[in-house]
Amino acid sequence: MATAPWDGEIPTQLRERFGDLITECATYLGQNFVVARPDAVIPILEFLKLEADFDYLVDITAVDYPNRPERFELFYILYSFERNERVRLKAMIADGAQPQTAVNVHAGANWLEREVFDMFGIQFAGHPDMRRILLPEEWEGFPLRKEMSIVQQDDRWVKENLGIESGQ
């Protein structure tokens, strides 16, 4: 990714405050993002909300890179009404790691984190209601992990329910 360094008030403040916990502050195609250690995510969200007016949590999502030791990239997209600016916070976590929930900072994180759990199997520690949200409770596996293939799932379903080969 051809990123440019992001300099300005916010990255300077963040670096001052969190030091080594911030690994990168950069810009890609005009969009600013911060890469941080997973344990710093909640303090950073808090700091951005209270001291930099990033009071609107737009989205939480994840991306799966199965070949990396820390296979998930967790994204928090924030917006500030006051500054009319967006910032993306990114943290790498390993499979089975339990990042802290953001519900206490932004109430809207509740369903968003449930969806991340539902799709990727990332458990958020301290979440008040860590259950599946879109898929049924008895669903096996986490569909947005890369090893889950659409075709395999379809094959299995056809075999179990219709007793034939799906031929896909």
Partner 1 sequence: MPETTFLDSSELVLNMGPQHPSTHGVLRVILKLDGEKVMGTECVIGYLHRGVEKIGENRTYQQFAPYVDRMDYVAAVSNGLGYCLAIEKLLNIEAPPRAQVTRVILTELNRIASHLLWLGTHALDIGAITPVFYCFREREEVLKIFENYCGARLTTHAFRIGGLQYELYDGFEEQVKAFCDMFLPKVDEYEELLTNNRIWVARLKNVGVLMGDECKEFGVTGPVLRAAGVKWDLRKAQPYSGYEQYDFEIPTGQNGDTYDRYIVRMEEMRQSVRIIRQAVDKIPTGPIGKTPKVIKPPMGEVYVSIEAPKGELGYFVVSDNSTQPYRVRVRPPSFVNLQALDRMVRGGLVADVVAIIGTLDIVLGEVDR
**Residue number with CB closer to partner 1 (14 or 74):** 74
Measured from the CB atom, the residue of 107 and 125 that comes closer to partner 1 is 107
- CA dist 21 and 38 (Å) reads 9
Do 19 and 43 form a contact (C-beta atoms < 8 A)? no
Select from 4, 50, 94, 107 the one that contacts partner 1 (CB under 8 A): 107
63 forms bridges with which residues in the sheet? Answer: 73
Site residue total, partner 1 (CB under 8 A): 36
Neighbours of 121 (CB within 10 A): 17
Secondary structure (3-state) at 74:
strand
Q: Which helix (H) or strand (E) holds 115?
A: helix 109-120
> At its nearest, how many Å lie between partner 1 and the CB of residue 139?
10
Among 21, 97, 130, 133, binds partner 1 (CB under 8 A): 133
Q: Give the nearer residue to partner 1 in terms of CB position, either 65 or 94.
A: 65
| Distance (Å, whole) CA 27 – CA 34 | 9
Q: Which stretch binds partner 1 (CB under 8 A): 5-13, 34-42, 76-84, 91-99?
A: 76-84
Q: Which is nearer to partner 1, 12 or 153 (CB)?
A: 153
**CB–CB of 78/10 below 8 Å?**
no
Question: Least distance in Å: CB of 21 to partner 1?
Answer: 21
How far is residue 151's CA from residue 53's CA, in Å, rounded to a whole number? 45
In the set 98, 144, 155, 158, which binds partner 1 (CB under 8 A)?
Answer: 144
In sign, the C-alpha dihedral spanning 124, 50, 33, 106 is positive
C-beta of 164: minimal distance to partner 1 in Å? 23
Binding residue (CB under 8 A) for partner 1 from 48, 77, 92, 93? 77
Binding-site member from 14, 44, 112, 122 for partner 1 (CB under 8 A)? 112
